[in-house]
Structure 1
Amino acid sequence: MRRSWRAAGALAACGLLLGACTGAGHGTGGTPSPDPGTPDTPGTRGTSRDATAPRSASAGRIDAARLPRTAAQARALVRGVIADPELFGSGAVRATPYESDPDTWPVLGDDCAWQPRGLPGDVLATLTRYMEMPDGRGRTAGVTVTVTVHRTALDAAWQQAGVLDETMRCPDQTPASGERLTGMAGLTRLTGLSSSASAYGEGANLYSDDVLRESGDCRGGESGGTFAYYLRQAAYGPVVVSAAACGGQAGKNADGPTVEPVQACVVAMVGRVKLRIGRPAPGGSGTPAPSGPGTPGTPAGKPSGKPSVMEGGA
């Protein structure tokens, strides 16, 4: 699904997610700033935080020399970190089609309907994969995972802010004709959407610059029923990863059987990003230093077993 594909431009939501979305020394054009791995300081939204703590998970932990500068480099990074069915455990399989058109970027219109557009200038590469897995009720849940590489961390932060804005503006949304928005053929509506966010250090988010949750119901599909919808999206430096599932009992969005696999997938993909663009650990081992207790060490490629949800329920 392409929910991580939100176009940036959410001034109202920006204040909710970030302390300031501009003026932090980050380029917004094609040339990254000297510190492209550090997004603007996230807002605490009433949460007390140690003033000496890093202002983001990626602050000082990204190796600028390892960041992609071209679309080709970004596409290689995307394919190195994006999840495959094995990450979701036994029973998960590829859907048809398996991958999105990497040159498209859905945009939510004023009518709350998604329409495909070309890639925006701040995006170097993006890719969505569609899968299916058991939903715990004897049916199949549609699953989507997306990885997007922006030119700067600030661009990634704007994308995160855009998610909150879109949910507030359009709690009910319509996918574009033929778009497998949540991996379910024939999906007609997403309804009752709500979202929340946690910056690094808030709640149990100890692994990403900020993490978003979105939930509601998804309607349609081959059976024409209503199911639970859940999305998790996280940013680390200029990279945004997301996973979402449409399946299970409607209304059980926060504790349904698809929630834990979605959470674990996002944590694992962020871990892969860290291994690809992070600074080497002290001692020259070549492995990036962990950014907190929630840092998974899964290398790119096939993971060994099902990842645990290190973020918890926050």
Structure 2
Amino acid sequence: MSPVPAVKSADPGLQPSTPARARQLIAKLIAGPGDFSAGVRKAVPYESDSGTWSVLRRNCVWNREPLPADVLATLTRHFELPPAAGKGRVRLSATVTVHRTGADAAWEQARMVEEALHCDQQVLRQGERLTGLMPQPARLGEAANLYSEDSLMEAGQCVSAKHGGPYPYWWQQVTYGSMVASASVCGGRGYDTDALMKIVVNALPTMQVRAREELGREPEGKAGTPSTGGAPSTGGTASTGGTASPAAPKDGE
């Protein structure tokens, strides 16, 4: 088993305490088109409404709702790799959410795991859905997760009345202090899972590295050099048992 590297811990004193500071941090952290593979561009619409976030209801349907009290700010960006050479369109997303505390971020991660277990099929919006979802959570040091405090991965298929399918689908979310970041990819005609991973693979590690540089402090009492990069491990997803469970947006698919 590989040793867990000495990773910068999130410094509570560096966590944003106001919505304005949280929005400034998100602007520094969130992925842009250049953080994916070559050819990825902004989709239309590009950015989500910053005053709302996605909530998975008990009926397994996603809705945009006002931010809860524990969230300072959030943003989702949408991307696409246009059709070319006989292959279909690939759709991607990146999300960064800043909570008031690290405990709030951890609760979001836990809710996502519960949601994945409850809803292995989810409706993103009318005419678009996810099927066969399989979650895999991993704490630091588990399941090859050597870089994130808490990692969560979901894999399955995406189906769209407009774009067709089913195509391979992948989503991963990580936490760092009060920040939660995620990236997703929904395939198109002619793409298998390996090809899709090559398109999305750099986005989430890039956001993780930026978060550690903005919010981290050097590890104490550990041998080794703080890690500054590398792909996140596969991890899983979650929700709470209420009528509505807030969660990281999946509306990039």
Alignment of 1:150 with 2:71, yes or no, is: no
| Greater RCO (CA < 8 Å, at least 6 residues apart) | 2
| Partner amino acid, structure 1, of 2:72 | L
Give the equivalent residue in structure 2 for 1:81.
29
Q: Using the alignment, how far apart are the partners of 2:22 and 2:100 within structure 1?
A: 9
Helix, strand or coil for the counterpart of 2:96?
Answer: strand
Alignment of 1:110 with 2:58, yes or no, is: yes
**Paired residue for 1:205, among 145, 166, 188?**
145
Alignment of 1:272 with 2:238, yes or no, is: no
1:217 deviates by 0.8
TM score, norm. by length of structure 2: 0.81
Matches within 5 A, 1:46-195: 61-133=9-81, 138-177=87-126, 187-195=127-135
1:176 deviates by 3.6
CA 1:108–1:310 in structure 2 vs 1: closer, same or farther (change >3 Å)? closer
Give the equivalent residue in structure 1 for 2:184.
244
Q: Which runs of 5+ in 1 are unaligned?
A: 1-47, 178-186, 283-288, 297-308
The answer to whether the 8 A contact 1:217-1:250 is kept is no
The answer to whether the 8 A contact 1:94-1:131 is kept is yes
Give the equivalent residue in structure 1 for 2:241.
none
Higher strand share: 2
Helix, strand or coil for the counterpart of 2:194?
Answer: coil
The answer to whether the 8 A contact 1:135-1:258 is kept is no
| Partner amino acid, structure 2, of 1:118 | P
The answer to whether the 8 A contact 2:79-2:93 is kept is yes
Percent identity of equivalent pairs: 38
| Partner amino acid, structure 2, of 1:75 | R
Give the equivalent residue in structure 2 for 1:20.
none
Alignment: residue pair count? 231
Q: Using the alignment, how far apart are the partners of 1:313 and 1:113 within structure 2?
A: 24
1:221 deviates by 5.0
Alignment of 1:226 with 2:175, yes or no, is: no
1:273 deviates by 0.5
Helix, strand or coil for the counterpart of 1:203?
Answer: coil
1:251 deviates by 10
Helix, strand or coil for the counterpart of 2:123?
Answer: coil
Helix, strand or coil for the counterpart of 1:154?
Answer: helix
1:279 deviates by 2.2
Q: Using the alignment, how far apart are the partners of 1:110 and 1:281 within structure 2?
A: 40
Give the equivalent residue in structure 2 for 1:310.
231
The answer to whether the 8 A contact 1:227-1:250 is kept is no
The answer to whether the 8 A contact 1:104-1:117 is kept is yes
